[in-house]
Amino acid sequence: MADFSAAMTGGQTFKLSGRPAKTTVLYFYPKDNTPGCTTESLAFRDLHDQFRAAGAEVYGISRDSLRSHEGFKAKLELPFELISDPDEAVCQAFGVMKMKKMYGKEVRGVERSTFVIDADGRLVKEWRGVKVPGHVDEVLEFVVRR
């Protein structure tokens, strides 16, 4: 898996090769403060302690600005950091930019996706075209079983 770095909340920079030797869960979502993205982020928040107990760190990532992320994180009281990818470099690297239908029009956007990267930096599981209900439970189950 190619290394990357990107700005994240809390004035920090996420670097794939510089993260602690733990399992990393990256969930890509379309936009801060939208219903599905809020529901998904709250589910990761509510199970955060269980992810940590399983040795995993969770990070959300979208094209939103750091300012938007900071507000979204504070509003939802998220205990994990959000990565900002306004130039879509990370989204492109993971292949999550897709043409989608929205109100009958074709728009280019982030396909809701989750990736699990092991302590050695290997991609070990991916979910694409995610439907929010039950998804975070499924990710946690996978992480715990590893």
Q: List pLDDT tens digits, range 22-55.
A: 999 999 999 999 999 999 999 999 999 999 999 9
Active-site choice (8, 25, 26, 37): 37
Residue range 42-69: mean pLDDT, rounded: 97
Q: Identify the pLDDT of residue 25.
A: 97
Query: Could you tell me if residue 16 is inside a domain?
Result: no
Residue range 60-65: mean pLDDT, rounded: 98
Query: Could you tell me if residue 6 is inside a domain?
Result: no
Q: Structural domain tally of the chain?
A: 1
- Please state the separation of Cα 103 from the chain's center in Å: 25
Query: Could you tell me if residue 130 is inside a domain?
Result: yes
Expressed as residue numbers, the domain containing 70 is 22-145
pLDDT surpassing 80 at residue 2: no
Q: List pLDDT tens digits, range 82-135.
A: 999 999 999 999 999 998 877 888 888 999 999 999 998 899 999 999 999 999
| DSSP annotation string for 113-135 | EEEEE-TTS-EEEEEES--STTH
| DSSP annotation string for 27-96 | EE-S-TTSHHHHHHHHHHHHTHHHHHHTTEEEEEEESS-HHHHHHHHHHHT-SS-EEE-TT-HHHHHHT-
Query: Could you tell me if residue 64 is inside a domain?
Result: yes
Q: Report the C-alpha gap between 40 and 131 in whole angstroms.
A: 9
Query: Could you tell me if residue 5 is inside a domain?
Result: no
Residue 37 appears among annotated catalytic residues: yes
Q: Residue 59's domain is classified under what CATH number? A: 3.40.30.10
Query: Could you tell me if residue 1 is inside a domain?
Result: no
If we measure between CA atoms, which residue out of 79, 73, 63, 66 comes closest to residue 29?
63
Query: Could you tell me if residue 97 is inside a domain?
Result: yes
Place 146 in a pLDDT band, splitting at 50, 70 and 90: confident
For 106, other C-beta atoms within 10 Å of its C-beta total: 8
Q: Identify the pLDDT of residue 88.
A: 95
